[in-house]
Structure 1
Amino acid sequence: MNTIADRHISPTFHGVEEVDDRRYYLIGDARLLSCTTVTGVIAKDALLRYAANQAVAAVFAELPSIVIASRTKPCGNTGRRCDHDNTTRCDNCACRECKACIARWLSERHIEHSARRADEGTRTHDVIEWWSYHGQIKPYDADIAPYVKAFEAFVAEYGLTPESFLASEALVINKGAGYAGTTDGVIRFRADATPAAAKLVSRVTQIQAKRAVKLGLTVDLLVDFKTREGEGPKFYPEQALQLTGYRHAPVIRIKGDDVDHPMLPTDGGMLIQLRPDGVTPRLAVTTERTYRRGFLYALGLTKWLIEEGAAAVSSHTFVLPETVAARARKAAKQSAAEPAPAAA
């Protein structure tokens, strides 16, 4: 059997559970928070602006319908969710034309767009994973063509081959800390592959590029591919925390055998942003300090919010002590409810 370093790695686990916008990996008897759920605890102003912009764009695009809706009384069914599909209408369906329905549609506009973007990202990652196994770009939909082209440009710029991927879409596990996640992979960059690769190796090793090429140096980086619809690179601190959680997980799993292996050693982490106007690789700080002072703090806050947050402001947390009379009445009721002893 080949060693773990000689094989591609893909995720295998017992399941994923979604609860209130939180994701858990179900691995054996463990229920582990996903890394993306952990980093989701960080407030993201950009997402708020994105949601507002989506609503504003929809208002201008559908202005005549919105004016009519503003004069239409609520149908009363706006909040209902029928079991049938969208092609069927019934008396309980939301009318989608009244003021309340249009207001709800505007407020949830960003959810529809976010779902579309997530689907595009998933399909782009599938193309990348296929290439890492077969060295070919499999057929893909036209809507993700810009991201696939950006990936091909990245591969060419850094002289990568399928063998450069030491891991692809790998499941990482940290049962001790209580989290798991799926990293896009670990890539080995060779200084002698291209000038861009030489500069990258030089940045990571702090050895001049020419000398790095002469010595045949390589660096192994844990990577995460991000698709961005807008132009120009844009990165966020929580993306570094996500990489950090992946990199510091002690266990990685190979597809098909459910056997835990030690995490591959890496020299750092890198975000690779794929956009219609190009690709931007960006090294990210994924050190032990970032793990302890950043990721683990976010993990602790996430757990507290889930397990204790609601109780912290609940009226039931601090109850009034029972009076002697109340305890006596409760005891009398319990005694009266008990069945009488059977006759001898």
Structure 2
Amino acid sequence: MIPLSVLDLVPVREGGTLEQAFAATVALAQAAERLGYRRFWVAEHHAMDGIAGGATSVVLAHIGTLTRSIRIGSGGIMLPNHTPFQIAEQFGTLAAMFPGRVDLGLGRAPGAGPELQRALRKDLHRAAETFPQDVAELRALLTGEPELAIRATPGHGADVAMWMLGSSLFGAQLAAMMGLPYAFAAHFAPDHLDTALALYRRDFRPSPDLAEPYVMVAMSVICDETDAGAELLASSQAQSFVRLRTGNPGKLPPPVAGYRDSLPAPAQAMLAHLGQASAIGAPATVREAIGRFVERTGAEEIIVSGSTFDPEARIRSLELTVDALAS
């Protein structure tokens, strides 16, 4: 069975609280650990009422404390929002707390308007232009090669597995050049998937940490006992996607029966396009969809995304997905 991991946005549900969101994420991580998922990643987003993972390293420390063995990491840290030194300290601290368990997935997209740039005191678009240099500096701060004028403590010599994230060709090129494992965000941006993976594998240069290319691809996966049940669960995430793409993001809404059929044609087309990187249905449906996707991508690992309004439904989805792929 292909290794599976979990990507979580720490969703805040309509009518719910931040405390409930963090408790649900911890319960999900504990379930993933129990079920044999390889890693549990949290994504960095800011100034969004429906996503509570902005202080990513703090959330990961909380998850790490309440789990025992599953790898924890960022999917990802948007490095233009930070300095390499700050991230070396944060993830060096995590690595000291949870030895052998910490992943550092890095992304370039600033994903911010002028208000957030002012709040962060950063020119994020200019910072995105220096992303390759910042990644190299961050790796040097962690590994000590080359030795820099300053050491991050914690950070220097930390056992942190760096990953490059991407949804375009840029991340694939940088991951290949630096010899990093590569995670592609197909669950929300599938357009360049095949070209990016081909480029990464073709141009990959071995590094001290990675001898051969390693690809993990993100899919939206929601599994229930029936296809209809899974589609209903998935309508919460579908609503969130549509609201985000139409400039009206908010908290995760409850499911709506027949939601897709109620949408105008452009919104239906958008969801159908995203559906090429999804597996939503009963166990047999999910098994077939993941199998086709692995055959298409040649991925060494799949990381599953997909928020549900009922936190227990996502835990059940993880259980059914593992069982489906193991059968």
Q: Which structure shows the higher strand fraction?
A: 1
- TM-score w.r.t. length of structure 1: 0.27
Which structure has the bigger radius of gyration?
Answer: 1
- TM-score w.r.t. length of structure 2: 0.28
